[in-house]
């Protein structure tokens, strides 16, 4: 028996040479080791703060590859991470040592325009899915940046520009195909493996690896009215009051957010405004463009804007509007969140004061309005538990240099702590910081659904093979 260091940094893991060779031969995708030329590219994730060195990266080509990986890591007690689009802020799709089960090359998409259903494999990004479904004038609710993976975003919930009209990404799942801890590859829907389907919608991949997602599609675009306007923050409180009253009466067709930040130093903005505080109103109208123009106009007319990028544009363009602001691998990111039932005066004051004194000029505070279809789904219908709040607050620290890590992370944590008197005590799984907080963080995510999540975990994954959280935590737990 040979001790193969490459395969695990956990002491005591034994894999024979034969077993490894047999495993390699069974995989139809690609296997990448540290000695391969593209190893660094394959291990890199979106957050530049994350720098981890897996021993083996298996770029799966098929669901059967995923099955073989799951069986291999379980049988040999090898720790692992699962990768979709690689955009998790905590970097939970890559691990130090062990194996990355990487689905990013699984890119098949099928659209059935008659039944209005799309089936997309686990490595698809939102840009790829939107471009394909838009060929038929259809779309499903996704995120607001196109290179984010459908996998992680959908499994954790999924807030985007279609949410108030059609719900979260996970609300639009019709079925998933997933690999369970025991290696079975099953389909889950409202009629099959109902409890797995429940846990897949908001459970963040805690019960298995999803190899394919089936989404309900809706007629969208191809052109939509989109408001994207930066107002000066000279009276930011008044601007947020205006936003609050606007969304209170806006129809479900409007999914809106307000963002507090500072004007980027790029040519897209007037030089005199660079670095100055802004209040951004962003909103998409899911419906006829002329009606959208009328209904979104007040967001544009609120003041004399710094810049107004609003207009009638292709839905696919709306979906890429923020892409440039979130470069992959270059910047360091730490994002956390909480939910507010109401945007009180105290909460607004705190958000304004902190936004414009952030440690980095790239950081923002995002106020997502939640309404319409998201709220009509009962909390017990799926693992996603936070539906009653009216606002999701995303606190995004975005910065450039390692030396600034501590002050940016502290800025986010301090604000979250100070927001607690105004908040409802919960958090969004997909804005997880570094997934610190362990069980108390998970309780904030699943809230009243936590006991059912635990029951389903015990039924399908009693040894907790699929852990929510970074691999370091896994090691700590084992030692
Ligand atoms: C630039 C940017 C923009 C964003 N915009 C939005 C937004 O508009 N709305 C929103 O709701 N969220 C948004 N997010 C948050 C986003 O939802 C999460 O970062 C999400 O985890 C990304 O999914 P991924 O597949 O790209 O990431 P990955 O890092 O690949 O995976 C995320 C998590 O899911 C697990 N996972 C991945 N694939 C699978 C699978 N097939 N089966 C089981 N588990 C799996 C991973 O192990 C990991 O823990 C954004 C994030 C970024 C970085």
Q: Is the CB of 66 under 6 A from ligand 1?
A: no
Residue 8: per-residue pLDDT: 43
Provide the CATH number for the domain formed by 5-105 in this structure.
3.30.43.10
Assess whether pLDDT exceeds 70 at residue 209.
yes
How many DSSP H helices and E strands does the chain contain? 16, 19
CA of 87 to the centre of ligand 1 (A): 5
Assess whether pLDDT exceeds 70 at residue 7.
no
Assess whether pLDDT exceeds 60 at residue 106.
yes
Buried b vs exposed e over 328-346: b needs ≥16 C-beta within 10 Å?
eeebbbbbbbbbbeebeee
For the CA atoms of 461, 465, 466, 472, the dihedral, rounded to the nearest 10 degrees, stands at 150
Assess whether pLDDT exceeds 90 at residue 471.
no
Provide the CATH number for the domain formed by 109-219 in this structure.
3.30.465.10
Assess whether pLDDT exceeds 50 at residue 477.
no
Q: For the chain, what is the mean pLDDT?
A: 93
Q: What's the token pair of residue 377?
A: 């789904």
Assess whether pLDDT exceeds 90 at residue 220.
yes
**Measuring CA to CA, which residue among 297, 267, 299 is closest to residue 281?**
299
Q: Which long-range contacts (CB under 8 A, 24 or more apart) does 17-21 make?
A: 19/76
Residue 70: per-residue pLDDT: 98
CA of 148 to the centre of ligand 1 (A): 6
Query: Looking at ligand 1, which residue's alpha carbon is closest to its atom 17?
Result: 153
Q: Which atom of ligand 1 is nearest to the CA of 326?
A: 1
Angle between helices 17-26 and 63-76 (to 10 degrees): 160
pLDDT-above-70 percentage for the chain: 95
Residue 9: per-residue pLDDT: 42
Binning pLDDT at 50, 70 and 90, where does residue 330 land?
confident
Residue 6: per-residue pLDDT: 53
Residue 4: per-residue pLDDT: 44
Residue 470: per-residue pLDDT: 46
pLDDT tens, residue by residue, 121-178: 999 999 999 999 999 999 999 999 999 999 999 999 999 999 999 999 999 999 999 9
* SS3 of residue 212 by DSSP: strand
Domain with CATH 3.40.462.20 in the chain: 223-434
CA of 440 to the centre of ligand 1 (A): 21
CA of 191 to the centre of ligand 1 (A): 26
pLDDT tens, residue by residue, 382-420: 999 999 999 999 999 999 999 999 999 999 999 999 999
What DSSP designation does 90 have?
Answer: T
Q: What's the token pair of residue 295?
A: 């209904």
Domain with CATH 3.30.43.10 in the chain: 5-105
pLDDT tens, residue by residue, 227-258: 999 999 999 999 999 999 999 999 999 999 99
Assess whether pLDDT exceeds 70 at residue 11.
no
CA of 82 to the centre of ligand 1 (A): 11
In angstroms, the CA 244 to CA 430 distance is: 24
Angle value at C-alpha 222, between 220 and 228, nearest 5 degrees = 85
CB count within 10 Å of CB 375 equals 16
Assess whether pLDDT exceeds 50 at residue 331.
yes
Query: Looking at ligand 1, which residue's alpha carbon is closest to its atom 51?
Result: 87
Q: Which atom of ligand 1 is nearest to the CA of 151?
A: 25
Domain with CATH 3.30.465.10 in the chain: 109-219
Provide the CATH number for the domain formed by 223-434 in this structure.
3.40.462.20
Which residues are CB-neighbours of 253 under 8 A, at least 6 positions away? 164, 165, 285, 286, 287, 291, 292, 295
Determine which of 5-9, 11-15, 105-109, 390-394 has the lowest per-residue pLDDT on average.
Answer: 5-9
Q: Is the CB of 282 under 6 A from ligand 1?
A: no
Residue 240: its H or E element: helix 236-249
Angle between helices 236-249 and 289-301 (to 10 degrees): 150
Binning pLDDT at 50, 70 and 90, where does residue 325 land?
confident
| Sheet containing strand 30-33, strands side by side | 30-33, 56-59, 99-102, 80-83
CA of 446 to the centre of ligand 1 (A): 17
261-268 mean pLDDT: 93
Q: Is the CB of 80 under 6 A from ligand 1?
A: no
CA of 65 to the centre of ligand 1 (A): 21
Q: Which atom of ligand 1 is nearest to the CA of 428?
A: 11
pLDDT-above-90 percentage for the chain: 89
Binning pLDDT at 50, 70 and 90, where does residue 467 land?
confident
Q: 0.85 cut: is pTM over it?
A: yes
Q: Which atom of ligand 1 is nearest to the CA of 47?
A: 53
In angstroms, the CA 290 to CA 112 distance is: 29
Assess whether pLDDT exceeds 60 at residue 479.
no
């Amino acid at each position: 028996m040979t001790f193969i260091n490459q395969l695990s940094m956990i002491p005591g893991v034994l894999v024979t040479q034969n077993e490894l060779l047999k495993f390699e031969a069974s995989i139809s995708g690609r296997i990448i080791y540290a000695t391969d030329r593209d190893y660094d590219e394959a291990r890199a994730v979106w957050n530049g703060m994350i720098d981890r060195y897996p021993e083996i990266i298996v770029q799966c080509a098929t669901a059967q590859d995923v099955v073989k990986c799951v069986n291999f890591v379980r049988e040999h007690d090898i720790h692992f991470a699962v990768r979709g689009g690689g955009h998790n802020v905590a970097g939970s799709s890559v691990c130090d040592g062990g194996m990355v089960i990487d689905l990013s090359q699984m890119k098949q998409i099928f659209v059935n325009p008659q039944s209005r259903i799309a089936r997309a494999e686990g490595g698809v990004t939102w840009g790829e899915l939107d471009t394909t479904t838009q060929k038929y004038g259809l779309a499903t609710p996704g995120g607001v940046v196109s290179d984010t993976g459908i996998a992680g975003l959908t499994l954790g919930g999924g807030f985007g520009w279609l949410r108030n009209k059609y719900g979260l990404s996970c609300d639009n799942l019709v079925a998933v195909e997933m690999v369970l801890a025991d290696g079975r590859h099953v389909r889950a829907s409202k009629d099959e493996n109902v409890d797995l389907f429940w846990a897949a919608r908001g459970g963040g991949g805690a019960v298995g690896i999803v190899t394919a997602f089936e989404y309900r599609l809706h007629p969208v675009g191809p052109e939509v009215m989109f408001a994207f306007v930066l107002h000066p923050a000279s009276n930011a409180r008044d601007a947020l009051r205006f936003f609050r009253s606007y969304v209170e009466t806006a129809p479900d067709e409007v999914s809106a957010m307000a963002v507090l930040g500072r004007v980027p130093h790029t040519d897209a903005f007037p030089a005199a405004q660079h670095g100055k505080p802004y209040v951004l109103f962003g909103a998409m109208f899911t419906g006829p463009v002329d009606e959208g123009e009328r209904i979104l106009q007040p967001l544009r007319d609120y003041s004399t804007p710094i810049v107004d990028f609003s207009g009638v544009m292709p839905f696919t363009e709306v979906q890429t509007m923020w892409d440039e602001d979130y470069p992959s691998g270059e910047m360091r990111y730490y994002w956390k969140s909480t939910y507010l039932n109401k945007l009180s005066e105290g909460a607004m004051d705190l958000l304004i004061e902190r936004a414009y004194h952030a440690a980095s000029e790239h950081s923002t505070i995002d106020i997502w309005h939640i309404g319409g279809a998201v709220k009509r789904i009962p909390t017990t219908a799926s693992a996603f538990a936070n539906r009653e709040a009216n606002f999701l607050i995303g606190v995004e620290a975005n910065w450039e240099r390692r030396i600034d890590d501590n002050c940016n992370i502290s800025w986010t944590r301090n604000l979250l702590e100070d927001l607690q008197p105004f908040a409802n005590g919960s958090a969004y799984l997909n804005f997880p910081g570094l997934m610190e907080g362990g069980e108390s963080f998970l309780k904030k995510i699943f809230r009243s659904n936590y006991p059912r999540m635990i029951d389903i975990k015990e039924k399908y994954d009693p040894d907790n093979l699929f852990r929510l959280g970074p691999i370091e935590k896994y090691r700590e737990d084992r030692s």
